[in-house]
Amino acid sequence: YTESKIMLERASKVLAGGVSSEFRKYNHPHALFYKGGVGTKIIDVDGNEYLDFTLSQGPLILGHSHPEVLAAVNSYSDSGQLYAGQHIQEIELAEKICELIPSAELIRFCLDGSEAVQTAFRVARAKTGKNKFLRFEGHYHGWLDNVAWGISTPGVEQLGEESNPNVYPWSKGISAGSRDEFLILPWNNLGLLEAALSRHHQDIAAIITEPVMCNNGCIPPEEGFLEGVRSLCDKYGICMIMDEVITGFRLGLGGAQSFFGITPDLSIFAKAMGSGYPISAIVGKSEWMDCIASGEVIHAGTMNSSNPTIAAALATIRVLEKEKPYERMFYLGKKLMNGLRAVGEETKQNLMVSGMGPMFNTFFAVDGLPKDYRGTLYADKGKLSRFVIGLQEEGIRIIGRGLWYISTAHTEAEIEYTLEKARKVLEKL
């Protein structure tokens, strides 16, 4: 890692923190700097090659440097058509998304997931005339003020209480006023949700949920939970926002909403839709989105819908439509998940594997902790860190918090190779 170390020193002088939060937060001893990547492989500045399951935190669903995406982006750069909005490709992309996503009737494009989430809250407030929103413990919806609060977790026994007083901002500098804008409830617990709404529904403009709790353990929704959220939103005139930043275009062309058969009022797409180019979308039924159309709710941004980002998204979606990769991605992902479970058992490492296939999480359970998603909140982070570093030393990269993403480029041979390497790492842990 000699060159990476030199780069880290250089970076630390000019880039605050020097390196992405993933390496800092998870005490990763070898921050990597990359030269580039093709397909499933990335190469660091020292020339080490890795089989990549991070996909740049998710977006590279087609793998690195996909030729059709690059060609689409380059055709705009080469022609000098580098303007934002008001071009035919923007219309074509919106038409395509309306065709594929069940709840999409009107769309606005933004640059990232956080910004689209913020826009969804505004729409929900404008439409319902209410001010607060409800979100779930362990979910992530970006880093802007009103969602960047968590629940401090002093003891497992305190989890699961309906209103947890120990809400804290993740960062200094977060507006204290945003504390009063939300309620945080446990995930997958319809009883607590019903009870909370019976008391607070007159204040709640929106319920926001990840359809799969991807950011903590990759926990699927329990049977009936999303349906329950949908019907409570209908009952109380609350906007249901589905945050599909991770699940969108990853569980299928229609996103998680199609996969689970639930129609949200608003939903957010980002990551995989743009193959790494900065594009996200807020989509929804006309009856919600018309307040943006009429200008009552402002949605702006100089760089939104810039030609290369739209081109990247159109090319990505067209490749996904053409290749129909989902059955294969589920197959490969589940094969890897099951294989890891088996290797975890054989090596007696308490390795837990949870998720859907195209994305999943690995963590190390601690005896006596809850078996539901809360077990992941309290999992053994030190051991996970050693696992992630061990894999990196064997030439395999996964995300620091144990998340794995499958791309359309991964092969069965690579899954088998990964299982061999994982066994080696687990044996040494």
Q: Where along the sequence are the contacts to ligand PMP (CB under 6 A)?
A: 112-114, 117, 140-142, 210, 214-215, 243, 245-246, 270
Whole-number Å distance between alpha carbons of 141 and 122: 15
Q: In this complex, which beta carbon is closest to ligand PMP, that of residue 241 or of residue 388?
A: 241
Residue nearest to ligand PMP according to CB distances in the complex:
113
Least gap, CB of 270 to ligand PMP (angstroms): 5
Q: In this complex, which beta carbon is closest to ligand PMP, that of residue 265 or of residue 414?
A: 265
Least gap, CB of 59 to ligand PMP (angstroms): 9
Query: Alpha carbon of 261 to those of 31, 103, 211: distances in Å?
Result: 41, 11, 11
Q: In this complex, which beta carbon is closest to ligand PMP, that of residue 174 or of residue 245?
A: 245
Whole-number Å distance between alpha carbons of 205 and 210: 17
Least gap, CB of 180 to ligand PMP (angstroms): 22
Q: Which of 399, 373, 396, 401 is nearest to 153 (CA)?
A: 373
**Given phi > 0 = left and psi -120 to 50 = alpha, else beta, which region is 134?**
beta
Whole-number Å distance between alpha carbons of 211 and 208: 9
Q: In this complex, which beta carbon is closest to ligand PMP, that of residue 48 or of residue 216?
A: 216
Least gap, CB of 419 to ligand PMP (angstroms): 27
Query: How many Å is the maximal CA-CA distance in the chain?
Result: 61
| Helix H or strand E encompassing 338 | helix 326-346
Under DSSP, is residue 37 helix (H, G, I), strand (E, B) or coil?
strand
Q: In this complex, which beta carbon is closest to ligand PMP, that of residue 142 or of residue 325?
A: 142
Least gap, CB of 139 to ligand PMP (angstroms): 7
Least gap, CB of 428 to ligand PMP (angstroms): 31
Contacts 24+ apart (CB under 8 A), 19-22: 22/57, 22/399, 22/400, 22/401
Least gap, CB of 386 to ligand PMP (angstroms): 24
Least gap, CB of 250 to ligand PMP (angstroms): 11
Query: What's the first-to-final CA gap in the chain, in angstroms?
Result: 22
Under DSSP, is residue 214 helix (H, G, I), strand (E, B) or coil?
coil
Under DSSP, is residue 249 helix (H, G, I), strand (E, B) or coil?
coil
Q: In this complex, which beta carbon is closest to ligand PMP, that of residue 104 or of residue 241?
A: 241
Least gap, CB of 379 to ligand PMP (angstroms): 19
**How far is Cα of residue 201 from the mean position of the Cα atoms in its chain?**
28
Q: Which of 408, 404, 406, 407 is nearest to 422 (CA)?
A: 404
Query: Alpha carbon of 388 to those of 8, 45, 361, 403, 428: distances in Å?
Result: 19, 19, 12, 10, 13
User: How, if at all, do strands 266-269 and 280-284 pair?
Assistant: antiparallel
Tokens found for residue 286: 């006309």
Q: In this complex, which beta carbon is closest to ligand PMP, that of residue 313 or of residue 351?
A: 313
Q: In this complex, which beta carbon is closest to ligand PMP, that of residue 4 or of residue 361?
A: 361
Q: In this complex, which beta carbon is closest to ligand PMP, that of residue 113 or of residue 276?
A: 113
Axis crossing angle, helix 190-200 with helix 225-236, rounded to the nearest 10: 10
Least gap, CB of 271 to ligand PMP (angstroms): 7
Q: In this complex, which beta carbon is closest to ligand PMP, that of residue 151 or of residue 246?
A: 246
The residue behind tokens 């003891």 is: 155
